[in-house]
């Protein structure tokens, strides 16, 4: 198969060498290009949507309800989508998710009432739940086990860098388009949503060129006590789903999701509510954040190689919690902006490491399911909490941060307790020889 040859031809590079980020085959490069287009189109919508709702003079409670609907629908299809991707192919799930995601800004663009705005949010949520886990699971086929964290980090870096440039432009786009067209600011937002859909649709020809390993249609073993079967039985059926590992990966994500749903969807509005910050300055703050965020993606694999994935994730999340607590206790706008940047970069920079670590803990046949399950565990609470979060923000601009910090702390402690003895520092991953060469597939 084409993708197998990519793995075998990938150069063997020393652990921690900068060349670990290079030498991938054309399939991986296509996925990087698709990531750039997704980062541009997705950022236009995700950054401006909340501000657009504010421009339409919706209350914090109404905005929280719409964001809750979006988050919840980004979660409901995750497990069935992951199952279908593992069984029948990840590429069809990617294309279906992209179609729904690209249509969503168009629906919002033409929406004239609350119900249609909710429909646009639903389409965006469903599209994300189909697209993201299948995309990452397919990308995992394009590199050896040891180099997978570098490929995941590179993809996150590329997407974040594209998003950083986009959010810098997006902060100026609605008002600039409104002035250019001689129309209202709300119409400027709608024109920006059209740009979002355009860039998302540009991915289609590139994603159609992707190759995928053929699914053999093997029967799925749902319940099993231990590891995958060996010998002739292993060639006749799919390995058992490692439920214990998947559940252990999911539990900390539930706690993170609860905390994230309380504050992350409201960050743009927080700067407006507390400091009356302009959309343009918010765009600059978010762009600076994403530039540092992107740089951190390149650093994390090296840190992970030296300290282990589990300890790296625990360390950076602890640092993020300290910055998070600093936001509500400072009266200074500039200090709050710095703490926001530190919090966002630290809390999210190890995300590719966590994804690569997660897929390395399970058999190849269940990678989409694993990523879907962890995303499901994160997105369910993250999708629900903006609803009550909108009411909390209505009477306090400080309490959401302290509640979030408490949930993040519990998640970090739980993750370290579950996986501290299963860290990957200095040990070959499954499918990798002690010499560190490419895995044989």
Structural domain includes residue 1 = no
304 or 9, which is more confident: 304
C-alpha to C-alpha distance for 331 and 98, rounded to whole angstroms: 42
User: Span 209-219, mean pLDDT?
Assistant: 64
By residue count, the chain amounts to: 441
Residue 407 has pLDDT above 90, yes or no: yes
- The closest of 328, 338, 292, 296 to 313, measured between CA atoms, is 296
| 239 SS3 class | coil
- The closest of 369, 385, 411 to 72, measured between CA atoms, is 385
Number of domains in the chain: 1
Q: How confident is the model at residue 387 (pLDDT cuts 50, 70, 90)?
A: confident
Structural domain includes residue 126 = yes
The enclosing domain of 189 has a CATH number of 1.20.1250.20
**Residue 52, CB half-sphere, CA atoms under 13 Å: how many?**
27
3-state helix, strand, coil in the chain (%, to 5): 80, 0, 20
Structural domain includes residue 309 = yes
Residue 247 has pLDDT above 70, yes or no: yes
pLDDT digits (tens, 9 = 90+) for 157-178: 888 889 888 988 888 899 899 9
Structural domain includes residue 431 = no
Pick the range with the lowest mean pLDDT from 62-71, 131-140, 142-151, 246-255: 142-151
Q: How confident is the model at residue 12 (pLDDT cuts 50, 70, 90)?
A: very low
Structural domain includes residue 107 = yes
How would you write 7-57 as a 3-class SS string? HHHCCCCCCCCHHHHCCCCHHHHHHHHHHHHHHHHHHHHHHHHHHHHHHCC
User: Span 278-289, mean pLDDT?
Assistant: 90
Contact 386, 71 (CB under 8 A): yes
C-alpha to C-alpha distance for 17 and 422, rounded to whole angstroms: 24
Structural domain includes residue 33 = yes
For residue 59, report the phi and psi dihedrals to the nearest 5 degrees. Answer: -75, 165
| 361 SS3 class | coil
C-alpha to C-alpha distance for 391 and 62, rounded to whole angstroms: 9
Residue 224 has pLDDT above 60, yes or no: no
Residue 292 has pLDDT above 70, yes or no: yes
pLDDT on residue 345: 92
Which residue has tokens 């989409």? 368
pLDDT, averaged across the chain: 81
Residue 235 has pLDDT above 50, yes or no: no
C-alpha to C-alpha distance for 344 and 323, rounded to whole angstroms: 9
Residue 389 has pLDDT above 70, yes or no: yes
pLDDT digits (tens, 9 = 90+) for 20-36: 566 677 888 888 999 99
Structural domain includes residue 220 = no
Most confident of the following: 261-270, 379-388, 404-413: 404-413
Q: Which domain holds residue 376?
A: 25-210+239-422
Contact 363, 347 (CB under 8 A): no
C-alpha to C-alpha distance for 407 and 157, rounded to whole angstroms: 27
C-alpha to C-alpha distance for 421 and 412, rounded to whole angstroms: 15
What is the number of other CB atoms lying within 10 angstroms of the CB of residue 146?
Answer: 24
Structural domain includes residue 17 = no
């Amino acid at each position: 198969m084409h993708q197998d040859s990519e793995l075998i031809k990938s150069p063997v590079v020393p652990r921690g060498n900068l060349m670990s980020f290079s030498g991938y085959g054309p399939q991986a490069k296509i996925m990087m290009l698709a990531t750039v287009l997704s980062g541009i189109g997705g950022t236009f919508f995700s950054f401006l949507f909340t501000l657009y709702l504010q421009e339409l003079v919706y209350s914090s409670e109404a905005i929280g309800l719409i964001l809750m609907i979006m988050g919840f629908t980004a979660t409901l299809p995750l497990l069935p989508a992951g199952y279908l991707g593992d069984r029948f192919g990840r590429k069809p799930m990617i294309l279906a998710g992209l179609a729904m995601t690209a249509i969503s800004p168009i629906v919002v663009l033409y929406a004239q009432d609350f119900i249609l705005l909710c429909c646009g949010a639903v389409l965006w949520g469903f599209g994300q739940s189909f697209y993201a886990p299948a995309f990452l699971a397919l990308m995992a086929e394009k590199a050896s086990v040891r180099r997978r964290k570098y490929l995941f980090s590179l993809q996150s870096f590329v997407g974040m860098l594209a998003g950083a440039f986009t959010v810098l432009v997006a902060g100026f786009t609605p008002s600039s388009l409104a002035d250019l067209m001689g129309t209202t600011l709300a119409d400027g937002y709608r024109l920006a949503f059209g740009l979002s859909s355009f860039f998302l649709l540009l991915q289609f020809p590139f994603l159609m060129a992707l190759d995928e390993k053929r699914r053999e249609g093997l029967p799925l073993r749902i319940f099993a006590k231990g590891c995958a079967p060996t010998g002739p039985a292993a060639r006749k059926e799919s390995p058992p789903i490692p439920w214990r590992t998947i559940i252990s990966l999911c539990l900390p994500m539930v706690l993170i999701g609860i905390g994230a749903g309380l504050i992350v969807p409201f960050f743009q509005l927080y700067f407006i509510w507390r400091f009356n910050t302009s959309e343009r300055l918010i765009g600059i703050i978010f762009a600076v954040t994403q530039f540092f965020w992107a740089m951190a993606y390149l650093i994390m694999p090296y840190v992970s190689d030296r300290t282990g994935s589990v300890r790296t994730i625990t360390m950076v999340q602890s640092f993020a919690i300290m910055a998070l607590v600093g936001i509500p206790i400072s009266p200074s706008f500039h200090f709050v902006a710095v703490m926001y940047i530190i919090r966002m970069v630290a809390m999210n920079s190890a995300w590719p490491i966590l994804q690569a670590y997660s897929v390395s803990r399970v058999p190849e046949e269940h990678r989409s399911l694993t990523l879907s399950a962890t995303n499901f565990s994160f997105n369910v609470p993250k999708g629900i909490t903006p609803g009550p979060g909108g009411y909390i923000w209505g009477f306090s601009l400080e309490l959401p941060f302290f509640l979030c910090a408490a949930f993040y702390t519990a998640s970090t402690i739980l993750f370290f307790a579950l996986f501290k003895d299963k860290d990957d520092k200095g040990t070959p991953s499954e499918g990798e020889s002690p010499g560190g060469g490419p895995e044989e597939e």
